[in-house]
Amino acid sequence: MTSSCSIPGLNVARSRFPEPEQDLPAGEGEQRLVLAGGCFWCVEAVFLAMDGVNRVESGYAGGSRETANYEAVCTGTTGHAEVIDVHYDPKRVSFGELLRVFFSVAHDPTQLNRQGNDRGTQYRSAVFYETPEQKRVVEAYIHQINKAGVYSEPVVTALEPLEAFYPAEANHQNFAARNPYQPYIMAVAAPKMEKLIDGFSDRLKPEYTEASAGSNSGSNLA
């Protein structure tokens, strides 16, 4: 990852992003959502803070098992994207609510095969769907965003079937919380966390809303 990132979406207020008109039913038991939005360190940090999210694991999707490692994926030739595997309680946070945060805070969905200075297909914007219902809801929400003119450019997020998820190496898990003052985290993850805390305080775990009082955004990563 490079040391800086331009995130135009951070300047777009939460109120500009419509509530999803379609969503998945709450159902029973834990559900999952696999997302690609650039550096997985930073996207992971955002979703770990959300109430109803039980756990988040960084990893790779879109390529083969043989190339599912950081060194290979960084070449941009494996077909993999850096992704996060979000496991959540649908009775506390819905699929649609997670999508709204993904498109408004976690990354800029109008950048093709890049996020800021991070360039390559491994940094593409994508939702890896497991069911036709997931695909339908994502397509509908992208249509809503484009119709509302939230961004000056159209959303380019790809919808890809989830063939397999491969966990990333241990040193990449929970990276932002373990390294809050690492330059890349301060430049890229911290602004996202600041927008999340300022704009979605009602969707956060209690420890994040409590920590935000009198704290800077970097310390909220921990």
**Percentage, residues of the chain above pLDDT 70:** 90
32-66 per-position pLDDT tens digit: 999 999 999 999 999 999 999 999 999 999 999 99
Q: Which of 16-20, 78-82, 176-180, 205-209 has the lowest mean pLDDT?
A: 205-209
- The whole-model pTM stands at 0.91
CB neighbourhood size of 159 (10 A): 14
Is pLDDT at 5 greater than 50 in this prediction? no
| 7 band by pLDDT with thresholds 50, 70 and 90 | low
Residues 94, 26 contacting (CB under 8 angstroms): yes
pLDDT average, residue stretch 81-88: 98
Q: Which two tokens stand for residue 128?
A: 């890896």
Is pLDDT at 217 greater than 60 in this prediction? no
What pLDDT score was predicted for residue 3? Answer: 46
Output phi, psi for 140, to 5 deg.
Answer: -65, -40
- Got the DSSP string for 105-165? II--TTSTTEETTEESGGG-EEEEESSHHHHHHHHHHHHHHHHHT-SSS----EEEE----
Alpha carbon distance 76, 54 (integer Å):
30
What pLDDT score was predicted for residue 27? Answer: 82
Residues 159, 131 contacting (CB under 8 angstroms): no
Active site residue 42: no
Q: Which two tokens stand for residue 165?
A: 């998820």
Distances (CA, A) of 100 to 1, 16, 96, 142: 25, 11, 6, 10
